[in-house]
C-alpha cells in the first residue's frame, strides 16, 4: 500500500515486506496504519517529530530486521501520554523506535533531551546524535588525531563525513581532505565546510587524485566507504598512520569488492586499522555535547542536514541516502 492510500488518522508505520535483491526499492516496504497505541504501565506514548535514515540500515534489511514488523531507527519526539512517572507529558526524548509516527517506550528505552538554547531539535539526530558521535569517536578514540596531522575522509559530504571534517579542524588537524561523488558536493566541502582539499571520486582513479591532494601523505583516514577508497588511503599513508573504519557503503547493496590489493603495506608501514561501532560509545555522549555545543552557538560548526518533509517521504529519503542524494545528515520531519 502506498502512503497516498493510507489515511492520516491513528498511528502510521513502515514495515519491510521482502528482502532486497541488490539495491532496495520502494516495493520492499509497506505502509501500515493502526489505532493510536495506549501506553501500558511504566511506558509513555511518544509522537515522533524527526526520524533518521542511515546507510547501516541497508545491512539490516538482509537479515537483522524481521519482515512485516516495526523497524528500528534513531528518533526524537515528544511525550503525549504517560504512565511512567519519569517521562512527563511534554518531555522531548531520543529513542530508537523509528519508521513510525508514534512509539510506546519505557524509561530505559528513552533519553530525555535537555533544552539547549540555539540547538534545534533536529541536531539531536545529526551533530549531537549518532552521526556526530561516530565522527567524534572515530577521530578522538580510534584514530587519535593529533594537532597538525593530515586527515582524509571518504563520503565526506555525508552525515558523518561532513561533521568529521569540521571537528577535525576544531581538534587541530593541519590539513583535511575529502572525497565525494559530485562536483556540487566537492564545492560544498571546500567552499562551505572548510575542507582544505576535495575531489570527485568519479573523475578518475581515487589513488591518483588522493596522491595529488596529499603529496606528502596522510596520517589518518576515516573510512565510510571501503573498497578502492581504502586501498587508496593505505597507499598514501605515512608510517604509523591510523585508519578508523566506520562504514562500507560501497558494498551494502552489491557483491563486496576485492580486499585492498596493498593490505601488506599495513605491516610494512606499521599502520593501525580499527573498525568500530558507535553503539559501544554511548558513554561519550556528554563529552560530545560539551565539545560541540559551544561551537554550534558560535557558528564555527555548521550542521549539514537534508530534511525531507512529511512521513510519506521516509522510504524515498532512505533510498536517497544509499544513492547519495543527501548533503550531510538525511532526516525526515514527520509532520
State the CATH number of the domain containing residue 46.
Answer: 3.90.180.10
Distance between CA atoms of 75 and 86, rounded to whole angstroms? Answer: 19
CA 332 vs CA 38, 54, 55, 90, 152: distances in Å: 24, 11, 14, 21, 29
Residue 251 sits in the same domain as residue 214: yes
Number of domains in the chain: 2
pLDDT, averaged per 10 consecutive residues of the chain (335 residues), comes to: 47 97 95 95 98 94 95 98 98 98 98 94 97 97 98 96 98 98 97 98 97 98 93 98 84 67 95 95 97 96 97 98 94 95
DSSP element (H, E) containing 220: strand 218-223
CATH of the domain at 206: 3.40.50.720
Residue 97 sits in the same domain as residue 149: no
Instruction: Give the pLDDT of residue 11.
Output: 96
Q: Which of 86, 92, 95, 84 is nearest to 113 (CA)?
A: 92
Residue 148 sits in the same domain as residue 249: yes
Distance between CA atoms of 124 and 146, rounded to whole angstroms? Answer: 27
Q: Looking at the domain assignment, is residue 296 inside a domain?
A: no
Q: Looking at the domain assignment, is residue 137 inside a domain?
A: yes
Residues 6+ apart with CB under 8 A from 204: none
Distance between CA atoms of 178 and 198, rounded to whole angstroms? Answer: 5
Residue 310 sits in the same domain as residue 194: no
Q: Looking at the domain assignment, is residue 299 inside a domain?
A: no
Residue 144 sits in the same domain as residue 262: yes
Residue 134 sits in the same domain as residue 86: no
Instruction: Give the pLDDT of residue 335.
Output: 85
Owning domain of residue 226: 130-279
DSSP 253: S
Residue 118 sits in the same domain as residue 153: no
Distance between CA atoms of 149 and 183, rounded to whole angstroms? Answer: 26
Residue 95 sits in the same domain as residue 138: no
Q: Is 59 helix (H, G, I), strand (E, B) or coil?
A: helix
Distance between CA atoms of 331 and 309, rounded to whole angstroms? Answer: 9
Using a 10 angstrom Cβ sphere, with 0-12 exposed, 13-18 middle and 19 or more buried, the burial of residue 148 is exposed
Residue 118 sits in the same domain as residue 144: no
Amino acid at each position: 500500500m502506498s502512503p497516498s492510500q493510507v489515511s492520516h488518522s491513528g498511528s502510521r508505520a513502515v514495515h519491510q515486506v521482502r528482502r532486497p535483491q541488490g539495491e532496495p526499492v520502494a516495493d520492499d516496504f509497506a505502509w501500515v496504519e493502526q489505532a493510536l497505541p495506549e501506553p501500558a504501565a511504566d511506558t509513555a506514548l511518544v509522537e515522533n517529530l524527526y526520524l533518521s535514515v542511515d546507510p547501516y540500515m541497508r545491512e539490516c534489511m538482509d537479515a537483522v530486521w524481521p519482515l512485516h514488523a516495526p523497524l528500528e531507527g534513531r528518533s526524537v519526539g515528544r511525550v503525549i501520554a504517560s504512565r511512567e512517572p519519569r517521562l512527563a507529558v511534554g518531555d522531548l526524548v531520543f529513542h530508537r523506535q523509528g519508521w513510525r509516527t508514534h512509539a510506546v517506550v519505557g524509561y530505559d528505552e528513552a533519553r530525555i533531551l535537555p533544552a539547549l538554547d540555539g540547538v534545534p531539535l533536529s541536531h539531536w539526530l545529526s551533530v549531537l546524535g549518532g552521526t556526530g558521535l561516530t565522527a567524534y569517536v572515530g577521530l578522538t578514540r580510534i584514530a587519535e588525531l593529533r594537532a597538525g596531522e593530515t586527515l582524509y575522509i571518504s563520503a565526506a559530504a555525508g552525515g558523518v563525513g561532513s561533521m568529521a571534517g569540521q571537528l577535525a579542524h576544531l581538534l587541530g588537524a593541519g590539513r583535511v581532505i575529502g572525497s565525494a561523488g559530485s562536483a556540487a558536493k566537492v564545492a560544498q566541502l571546500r567552499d562551505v565546510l572548510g575542507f582544505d582539499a576535495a575531489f570527485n571520486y568519479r573523475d578518475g582513479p581515487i589513488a591518483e587524485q588522493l596522491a595529488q591532494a596529499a603529496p606528502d601523505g596522510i596520517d589518518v583516514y576515516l573510512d565510510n566507504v571501503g573498497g578502492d577508497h581504502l586501498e587508496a588511503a593505505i597507499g598514501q599513508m605515512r608510517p604509523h598512520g591510523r585508519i578508523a573504519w566506520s562504514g562500507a557503503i560501497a558494498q551494502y547493496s552489491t557483491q563486496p569488492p576485492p580486499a585492498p590489493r596493498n593490505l601488506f603495506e599495513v605491516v610494512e608501514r606499521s599502520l593501525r586499522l580499527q573498525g568500530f561501532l558507535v553503539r559501544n560509545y554511548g558513554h561519550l555522549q556528554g563529552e560530545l555535547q560539551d565539545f560541540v555545543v559551544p561551537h554550534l552557538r558560535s557558528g564555527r560548526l555548521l550542521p549539514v542536514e537534508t530534511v525531507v518533509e512529511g512521513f510519506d517521504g521516509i522510504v524515498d529519503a532512505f533510498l536517497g541516502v544509499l544513492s547519495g542524494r543527501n548533503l550531510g545528515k538525511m532526516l525526515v520531519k514527520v509532520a
